Amino acid sequence: MQPFTLRRQKLLSALPDNSIALIASGHEQIRNRDTHYPFRPHSDFQYLTGFNEPDAVLALIKTNTMTCHLCLRPKDKEREIWDGLRLGIEAAPDALEMDSAHDINDLQSLLSEWLANKAYVFISFDESTTWIPRLLPIIQQLKRRVRQGISAPHQFSDLDKLLHEQRLIKDEAAQAGLRKAAKVTVSGHLAAMRTARSGIYEYELQASLEQTYKQLGSTHQAFSTIVAGGKNACILHYTENNQLLCNADLVLIDAGAEIDGYAGDCTNTFPISGRFSNEQGIIYDLVLAAQQAALATIKPGVNYDVPHKAAVKVIAQGLWSLGLINATSLDEIINNELYKPFYMHQTGHWLGCDVHDVGEYKINGSWRPLVEGMALTVEPGIYIAPDMQQVDVKWRGIGIRIEDSVLVTETGYECLTIGLPRTRDEIESWMQNR
Ligand code: CA
């Protein structure tokens, strides 16, 4: 049985009786005139079907039985010559383990049939502007047939609440997908390290990294690759990647390959010359110590914010000791967030089909405890802006982030993004021997 089938069954089990859930793959989007962006289905749809075509809708129906139905594009010889092969309606039930498959052009009449005598309709509220105008007239028509003994749904519910909690805990197939994406991601980082030298442009490292992703079977980047040389690293989501790299610079690369619908996410910061300057090395060691402190806290039962607090404490203490923050106590730095000009983001995020994956971070106002099977990133950083007047000029323009992706295990965590040189010594000797 496919993992997608198991996931649909699990979701169906969580739905109340007499309900229908609708999940769309999405449409192709025009980039300019008649050219499209590469299509990538909505993650919810991909997670539940493994099917990658646009213009498809999955319907999960729960009455006294639980059934799965897919509406998709029919075979079309002419369009397939131009745009590529389609799975087609006939092949879909076997290929995707569905109870039935239908022409997407018949969706409206199918919905009239499926919504009859259901009580609840589950859709993503993020998609409600598409779904509600489509579903309400059908529901109104069903209400007019009450004397024929037909009842209409009386409640819309947000499917995200159920489905995203399910996606948050990674099943075996998701764990395997994340491991694979992480492995390719690390290979791309190593390729970029191999390419790095003074006098080339940031986008040349991007090219090495993304070439490796493609060669290893990644169809997309999980997000736009960041290659930030020197002070550009102080811009958190820098993606211009068009500046020259020079020997005195560090380069920060934050990138991830997407494979089989799973995202890799990893950040690596290293010196172009292969040797850290004194100041770069000091800040690097501090960020790495913060990351190790954060990682050390990760295990089931620990609240989500604990790794962040551990990283903040190390960074605050370190910056204070170096004289980069003026304060009378560590508590003052932490309580008044005096570290924020240097470290302004959180220490991580959920990771899965989406790089910033779905799932609540707080429950009833409190940070939720980690659970076996969750995947998250651990990514502290220190960014000393080039115009930060209050620090000595020798520190300015240093931006460092170190990021790994981890899976919460029964007793702790499994690092997914393994294989990169991480300590200062490891990086320097790797760069020397490449
Ligand atoms: Ca990242």
Which residues have CB under 8 Å from 22's CB, separation 6+? Answer: 57, 58, 59, 121, 122, 123, 131, 159
pTM of structure: 0.96
The predicted structure's pLDDT at residue 219:
87
Cα of 236 vs centre of ligand 1, distance in Å, is 10
| CATH for 3-167, options being 3.90.25.10, 3.40.50.10420, 3.40.50.1370, 3.40.350.10 | 3.40.350.10
Query: What pLDDT is stored for residue 5 in this prediction?
Result: 98
CA of 102 to the centre of ligand 1 (A): 40
Q: What is the pLDDT of residues 63-84, one digit of tens each?
A: 999 999 999 999 999 999 998 9
Q: Give CA–CA dist 322/161, Å, rounded.
A: 46
Ligand 1 centre and the CA of 59: distance in Å? 34
Residues 6+ apart with CB under 8 A from 68: 5, 8, 12, 58, 59, 60, 61, 97, 98, 99
C-alpha of residue 183 to centroid of ligand 1, in Å: 15
- Looking at residue 167, its pLDDT comes to 98
pLDDT one-digit tens code per residue, 326-342: 999 999 999 999 999 99
**Which of helix, strand or coil describes residue 351?**
coil
Name the fold adopted by 169-433: Creatine Amidinohydrolase (3.90.230)
**Which residues are close to ligand 1, an ion, with C-beta < 5 A?**
254, 265
| DSSP secondary structure of 188-228 | HHHHHHHH--TTSBHHHHHHHHHHHHHHTT--EESS--EEE
Centre of ligand 1 to C-alpha 151, Å, is 49
Ligand 1 centre from 414 Cα, in Å? 18
pLDDT in tens, 390-410: 999 999 999 999 999 999 999
309-332 burial by CB neighbour count: b if 16+ within 10 A, else e? ebbbbbbbbbbbeeebbeeeeeee
> Ligand 1 centroid vs 357 CA: distance in angstroms?
12
| 202: amino acid identity, one letter | E
Long-range contacts of 313-321 (CB under 8 A, 24+ apart): 314/286, 314/289, 314/290, 314/380, 315/286, 315/287, 315/290, 315/339, 315/342, 315/343, 315/380, 315/382, 318/286, 318/289, 318/290, 319/286, 319/382
User: What amino acid occupies position 98?
Assistant: M
Angle CA 418–423–268, to nearest 5: 60
pLDDT of residue 377: 98
Per the CB < 8 A criterion, the answer to whether 135 and 115 are in contact is yes
pLDDT digits (tens, 9 = 90+) for 272-300: 999 999 999 999 999 999 999 999 999 99
Cα 413 to Cα 427: distance, rounded to the nearest angstrom: 24
CA distance 322 to 325: 8
What residue spans in the chain does CATH classification 3.90.230.10 cover?
169-433
Domain boundaries for CATH 3.40.350.10 within the chain: 3-167
In degrees, rounded to 5, the angle at the alpha carbon of residue 253 between the alpha carbons of residues 223 and 407 is 65
Catalytic residue IDs:
34, 237, 254, 265, 345, 349, 356, 379, 383, 401, 403
- How far is 102 from 82, CA to CA, in rounded Å? 23
- Work out the percent of the chain whose per-residue pLDDT is above 70: 100
- Interval between CA 234 and ligand 1 midpoint (Å): 14
Query: What's the mean pLDDT in 123-130?
Result: 96
State residue 222's pLDDT score: 98
Q: Rounded to the nearest whole angstrom, what is the distance from the C-alpha of residue 344 to the centroid of ligand 1?
A: 14
Residue of 425, 420, 404 whose CA lies nearest to 193: 420
> How far apart are the CA of 189 and the centre of ligand 1, in A?
12
**Mean pLDDT score of the chain:** 97
Q: What is the reported pLDDT for 6? A: 98
Of residues 45, 47, 68, the one with CA closest to residue 56: 45
